[in-house]
Amino acid sequence: MANYTLTDAINFAQPQIEYLPLTAGVNNEPAMTIGTGIVDTVLGPPFVWDFNRNNTTLSLVIGQQDYPQTLTDFGILEKASLTDATGKIWEIKDVYNSACLGASTTQQRPNACAVQANNFGGAQTFRFMGVPDFAYSCTLIYQKFPVRFTSLTGTWSGIPDSYSNIYMTLFLAECFQLAEMEQKAQMYRQRGVAMLLSVAQGLTEYQKNAFREQYLDRDKQDMRAQLRVQQGVQASGA
């Protein structure tokens, strides 16, 4: 259950950044964008969570390849399975979110499913390959779309309070960055990523390393910028 609010994170961070204002901008910025960015990170790919999971059922028709849907909370497709009229169930092994499937008229039991179109406003189209050769009931399991903060009293998009150490640490890291406390920002960012990856099940080592490198790349950029400044000062003889 999620009870902690964005205000709780702000109250946690401010004493550690010498009470630098986090809501002085329009629409309580920069706190709103920092919080939303962290929610997007925790609930976005490659992560999948039991608390962020939902499902829907499609009725597949013989010869119909595309199925428009209206799922207002749809984020990414995770799993898909078929059930025939006798109750036999097959998992669809190939599931795609950003890759598409070509048009086809070849009928067979579908072995691939793709999010063919998604306007991120509640409308999706799912395409199957092959084209259904019988009537099937298709269960789609998906991760819900992260809900952005719209107020300081908003909770952390359904993320359980037991994970608050993760998003509070990542929030504090960005606050340290705003306060120009770069070393602390790097330390807390690394700590938050380590916490996040430690509880993220189902990821390969490649996925973990890719996420870690991408998220922490800003640390390398900051270090390179600092090094360039130091080199410039030394070259000028100051």
pLDDT of 158 reads: 85
Domain assignment present for 238:
no
Res 234: pLDDT: 44
State residue 168's pLDDT score. Answer: 97
106-126 tens-digit pLDDT: 999 999 999 999 998 899 999
Residue 219 is predicted with a pLDDT of 57
Last residue of a domain, one of 119, 144, 169: 144
On whether residue 1 sits in a domain, the answer given is no
Claim to verify: residue 212 and residue 94 sit in the same structural domain: no
Together in a domain, 38 and 151? yes
How many distinct structural domains can be found in the chain?
A: 2
Structural domain including 113 reads 51-144
Residue 174 inside a domain? The answer is yes
pLDDT tens-digit series, residues 162-171: 999 999 999 9
- Is a pLDDT exceeding 80 seen at residue 233? no
Give the predicted TM-score (pTM) of the model.
Answer: 0.86
Domain-located, residue 206: yes
The reply to whether 71 and 132 lie within a common domain is yes
Mean pLDDT of the chain: 91
Backbone torsions φ then ψ of 66, nearest 5 degrees: -110, 145
What is the mean pLDDT of the segment spanning 68-78?
97
Q: So what's the pLDDT on residue 220?
A: 54
Query: What is the number of other CB atoms lying within 10 angstroms of the CB of residue 152?
Result: 17
Helix axes 6-13, 31-43, angle to 10 degrees: 110
Q: Is 24's pLDDT higher than 70?
A: yes
Range in 16-25, 155-164, 228-237 with the lowest mean pLDDT: 228-237
Same domain, 125 and 10: no
CA distance 153 to 5: 5
Distance CA(140)–CA(138), nearest Å, equals: 6
Q: Looking at 144, 169, 198, which one is the last position of a domain? A: 144
Give yes or no: residues 97 and 213 share one domain. no
Which of these three, 144, 169, 203, is where a domain ends? 144
- Residues 94 and 206 grouped into a single domain: no
Would 229 be classed as within a structural domain?
no
Residue 232 pLDDT: 44
- Residue 187 and residue 68: Cα distance in Å, rounded? 46
Task: Tell me the mean pLDDT in the region 217-236.
Answer: 48
